[in-house]
Amino acid sequence: MAEKQESYQNGVLATLAVMGGKWKPLILCHMGAGPIRPAELRRVVPGISPKVLTDQLRELERDEIIERHVYNEVPPHVEYEITEYGHTLNKVLVAMSSWGEDRIKRLQDKGQTVDLVYPEHDGYSN
């Protein structure tokens, strides 16, 4: 590992550039089951503000992780869907989820309360 330090780092950083931040991992967790509308995402990702959700979705779209489908209807109808490329992120999400689950168990075994795990949701209750 000592010889490959730099590329090791760069890969990690490139990944964080795409799926880092407070909301992107949560959003991606809810996009595996198929196309989803922003309103539904707001419902299942409690606490996210409409603006930030839009921002994050646009960035994921720009990075080709998700696709935006617009249906020309009134009221507007938009769906976001993970791309084929986006699905390759699953390995990372699964590795993170798995380690995190283990950590949660660890903390619970030590009698510690596991906070900080889910962003508070107050406001934007729907």
Q: Does 39 bind its own copies (CB under 8 A)?
A: no
Nearest to 121 by CA among 25, 37, 42, 32: 42
For residue 49, the minimal CB distance to DNA (Å) is 4
Nearest to 28 by CA among 5, 59, 6, 49: 59
Number of residues that bind its own copies (CB under 8 A): 45
Half-sphere exposure of 20 (CA within 13 A, CB side): 7
**CB closer to DNA, 4 vs 71:** 71
**CB closer to DNA, 75 vs 111:** 75
Q: What angle do CA 45, 23, 92 make, to 5 degrees?
A: 110
**CB closer to its own copies, 40 vs 76:** 40
Displacement of CA 120 from its chain's centroid (Å)? 16
Q: Which residues contact its own copies by CB under 8 A?
A: 1-2, 5, 7-18, 20, 25-26, 29-30, 32-33, 44, 85, 88-89, 91-104, 106, 114, 116-118
